[in-house]
Amino acid sequence: MSGAAPLLRVAGLTKRFGGFTAVDQVSFSVAEGEILGLLGPNGSGKSTTFNCIAGALRPMAGRVLFDGQEIAGRPADEVCRRGIGRTFQIPRPFRRLTLLENAVLAAHYGAGGAIPRAEAEARARDALRLAQLPDDLHATAAGLGAAGLKKLELARALATGPRLLLADESLGGLDAAEMRTAADMLRRIRDERGITIVWVEHIMGVLLSVVDRVVVLDHGAVIFEGTPQAAQEDPKVAEVYLGPPEARAA
Ligand SMILES: Nc1ncnc2c1ncn2[C@@H]1O[C@H](COP(=O)(O)OP(=O)(O)OP(=O)(O)O)[C@@H](O)[C@H]1O
């Protein structure tokens, strides 16, 4: 990373559910324009970390600084207005509304309702184009398959006008070709728009060819931070993903 202040800094982030610590003193930073992969097996604390950043959960300790401002514990709509857009692991569009209407609502949400309808529609159309949705923007969301729903989820997050995009499990439910397309799309969004991305995923696969850096969680703690290349060679990462060496040989 360069010497510039990071766009996002998470420090000592901790979240407990009852007596169970789901996120334990997690710290990492993301530079403006970077794509960071936040990886880890099921239950390692990725979504909880993500939700603490996006304002869906209130952390018990730690800091979340976005563009130098503390946002830990701020509500989700305020976090969005400040410039953090998110997708959900399970897409939740308004199924009876059209693709365009879904994205227009997201544009209004991101602006706190403070933009005229024409401006919201322009932002919505731009986001839908960027997410490569089909030409018929007046079709309802109910007609979309898994890949289309993921694209609409991405378009809705983009329509909020983010500087930082939190992408949650963007590859879930996609086949190999669709995964490649989704990964290329995230890279293009960063390359063409300069949008910084934190990409949460439990599988490494195609993600490693797109991200600049990787943070790996296990049991709520950071066990690795570095380049995708180094992640593939790290014994701790291999153990988390593949099991201990003796089990792998069996
Ligand atoms: N609301 C909750 N109440 C109690 N426990 C929770 C809650 N949310 C998450 N957990 C637990 O916290 C741990 C971390 O969950 P989290 O969803 O953050 O993991 P994850 O890495 O995102 O997993 P996945 O890849 O399956 O989405 C898990 O053991 C989970 O069961």
Q: Is the CB of 15 under 6 A from ligand 1?
A: no
**DSSP string spanning the chain?**
--SSPPSEEEEEEEEEETTEEEEEEEEEEE-TT-EEEEE-STTSSHHHHHHHHHTSS--SEEEEEETTEE-TT--HHHHHHHTEEE--SS----TTSBHHHHHHHHHHHHTTT-S-HHHHHHHHHHHHHHTT--S-TTSBGGG--HHHHHHHHHHHHHHT--SEEEEESTTTT--HHHHHHHHHHHHHHHHHH--EEEEEES--GGGGGT-SEEEEEETTEEEEEE-HHHHHH-HHHHHHHH--HHHHH-
Q: Please state which CATH class domain 8-83+162-249 belongs to.
A: alpha beta
Residue 86 bridge partners (DSSP)? 166
Give the per-residue pLDDT at 224. Answer: 96
Q: Tokens 């990462």 identify what position?
A: 237
Task: Verify whether ligand 1 is closer than 6 Å to residue 17 (CB atom).
Answer: yes
Neighbours of 108 (CB within 10 A): 19
Ligand 1 centre distance from Cα of residue 23 (Å): 9
For a mutational test of ligand 1's pocket, the pick from 47, 50, 169, i.e. the residue with the most ligand atoms closer than 8 A to its C-beta, is 47
Q: Which ligand 1 atom is at minimum distance from the Cα of 200?
A: 22
Is 55's C-beta closer than 6 angstroms to any atom of ligand 1?
A: no
Mutate to test the pocket of ligand 1, among 15, 17, 58 (most ligand atoms within 8 A of CB): 17
Sketch the domain layout of the chain as residue ranges. Answer: 8-83+162-249, 96-161
Q: Which residue minimizes the CA distance to atom 31 of ligand 1?
A: 43
Give the C-alpha separation, 245 to 85, whole Å: 39
Q: Global pTM?
A: 0.91
Q: Whose CA is nearest to atom 28 of ligand 1?
A: 43
pLDDT digits (tens, 9 = 90+) for 24-55: 999 999 999 999 999 999 899 999 999 999 99
On the question of pLDDT at 250 being above 50, the answer is no
240 has a pLDDT exceeding 90: no
CB 120 within 8 A of CB 108: yes
2 touches ligand 1 (CB under 6 Å): no
Q: Which atom of ligand 1 is nearest to the CA of 48?
A: 18
Residue nearest to atom 24 of ligand 1 (CA): 42
Give pLDDT tens digits for 170-229: 777 788 888 888 899 999 999 999 999 999 988 778 888 899 999 999 999 999 999 999
pLDDT of residue 89: 79
**pLDDT score at 249:** 54
Q: Specify the pLDDT at position 202.
A: 80
pLDDT tens-digit profile of 127-166? 999 998 877 778 888 888 888 898 999 999 999 999 999 9
Does any ligand 1 atom lie closer than 6 A to the CB of residue 40? yes
Q: Using one digit for the tens of pLDDT, what is the confidence trace for 52-87? A: 999 999 999 999 999 999 999 999 999 999 999 999
pLDDT attached to residue 138: 84
CA of 91 to the centre of ligand 1 (A): 18
